[in-house]
């Protein structure tokens, strides 16, 4: 039997997401977490993250530095921190392992364990069952949702950041490396909201201008009551339609909620927007999911 059943596909089409148990074994989850702990242990913290600036001019530099660091991270493994984890000398005031919000955006290309999980036969069979002819990997992230300080993610649609024409070509894969519950910040969805298009886009601004990205359209407010939680067991996965509205709470619990997540796009008959922040590079074109 397929890992993804007809019923799962139907649920994804109707609700815009589906939760599946047992994509990874607990041991596979632990191997990924262990590897990430090593990566964080060895990380170089970029200067602009460490330094606290005081003057107006320096504040601008800091912002430009942060913006550059982000917008050129598509083919790199880079570190994005929680707020308030450095003191004014740029030293950590929390344990290093607890300081990182996420690591992105090319673990799928450069880290062998993450690459293996991304292109696993199960993953390929999921994409085939979804009817994807030429899926390619766009980006990947490791998200920590640190206990006590892991911030909330406000309601959004992934296609705001990963825009294609036509829409409906991007799918997120969100793998719980630890159990995700309503207490430690699991995802919440508005079922069916993928059917109404998107309300805003993040686009690159013209070269040489600042900020480097801007939003077109309005951030919508959503009715709190419409969100449904999507708890996931360790090793389980959530498949996320590019246009479904979702969010997650801050993590007020004692336990972290580590996740490995990546996005794929059906390349057949699809135009990847040149205005998206993320662009394929010579170094790293979007790799095809199917390896066989």
Residues contributing to the site for Fe ion (CB under 5 A): 158
Q: Which is nearer to Fe ion, 115 or 263 (CB)?
A: 263
Residue 118 near residue 260 (C-beta atoms within 8 A): no
Provide, rounded to whole angstroms, the least separation between the CB of residue 162 and Fe ion: 9
Provide, rounded to whole angstroms, the least separation between the CB of residue 78 and Fe ion: 18
Provide, rounded to whole angstroms, the least separation between the CB of residue 246 and Fe ion: 6
Q: Which is nearer to Fe ion, 155 or 235 (CB)?
A: 155
When CB distances to Fe ion are compared, the closest residue is: 158
Provide, rounded to whole angstroms, the least separation between the CB of residue 7 and Fe ion: 24
Smallest CA-to-CA distance from 151 within 192, 96, 102 is with: 102
**Paired tokens of 72:** 């050129």
Provide, rounded to whole angstroms, the least separation between the CB of residue 158 and Fe ion: 5
Smallest CA-to-CA distance from 141 within 100, 181, 182 is with: 100
Coil, helix or strand for 272?
strand
Q: How far is residue 141's CA from residue 130's CA, in Å, rounded to a whole number?
A: 22
Provide, rounded to whole angstroms, the least separation between the CB of residue 231 and Fe ion: 17
Q: Which is nearer to Fe ion, 20 or 141 (CB)?
A: 141
DSSP 216-258: EE-PPP--GGG-EEE-B-TT-EEEEETT--EEE----SSS---
Q: Which is nearer to Fe ion, 8 or 158 (CB)?
A: 158
Coil, helix or strand for 49?
helix
Q: Which is nearer to Fe ion, 49 or 141 (CB)?
A: 141
Provide, rounded to whole angstroms, the least separation between the CB of residue 210 and Fe ion: 26
Q: Which is nearer to Fe ion, 157 or 184 (CB)?
A: 157
**Paired tokens of 244:** 């479904």
DSSP 104-130: EE-HHHH-HHHHHHHT-HHHHHHHHHT
Q: How far is residue 278's CA from residue 105's CA, in Å, rounded to a whole number?
A: 9
Q: How far is residue 257's CA from residue 233's CA, in Å, rounded to a whole number?
A: 11
Q: Which is nearer to Fe ion, 158 or 267 (CB)?
A: 158
Helix (H) or strand (E) holding 195: none
């Amino acid at each position: 039997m397929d890992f993804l059943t007809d019923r799962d596909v139907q649920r994804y089409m109707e609700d815009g997401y589906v939760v599946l148990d047992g994509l990874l074994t607990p041991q596979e989850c632990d191997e990924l977490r262990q590897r990430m702990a090593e990566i964080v242990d060895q990380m170089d913290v970029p200067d602009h993250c460490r330094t606290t600036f005081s003057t107006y001019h320096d504040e601008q530099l800091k912002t430009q530095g942060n913006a550059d660091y982000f917008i050129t991270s598509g083919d790199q493994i880079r570190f994005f921190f929680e707020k308030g984890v450095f003191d004014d000398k740029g030293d950590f005031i929390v344990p290093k392992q607890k300081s990182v919000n996420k690591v992105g955006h090319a673990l799928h290309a450069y880290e062998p364990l993450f690459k293996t999980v991304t292109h696993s036969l199960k993953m390929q069979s999921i994409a085939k069952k979804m009817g994807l002819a030429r899926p390619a990997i766009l980006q990947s992230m490791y998200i920590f949702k640190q206990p006590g300080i892991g911030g909330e993610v406000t309601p959004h649609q992934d296609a705001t950041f990963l825009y294609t024409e036509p829409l409906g070509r991007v799918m997120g894969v969100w793998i719980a490396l630890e159990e995700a519950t309503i207490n430690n910040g699991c995802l919440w969805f508005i079922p069916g909201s993928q059917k109404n298009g998107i309300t805003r886009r993040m686009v690159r601004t013209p070269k040489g201008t600042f900020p480097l990205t801007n939003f077109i359209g309005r951030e919508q407010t959503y009715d709190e009551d419409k969100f449904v939680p999507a708890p996931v067991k360790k090793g389980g996965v959530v498949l996320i339609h590019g246009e479904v509205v979702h969010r997650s709470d801050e993590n007020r619990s004692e336990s972290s909620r580590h996740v490995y997540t990546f996005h794929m796009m059906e390349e057949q008959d699809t135009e990847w927007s040149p205005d998206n922040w993320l662009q394929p590079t010579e170094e790293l074109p979007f790799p095809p999911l199917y390896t066989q």
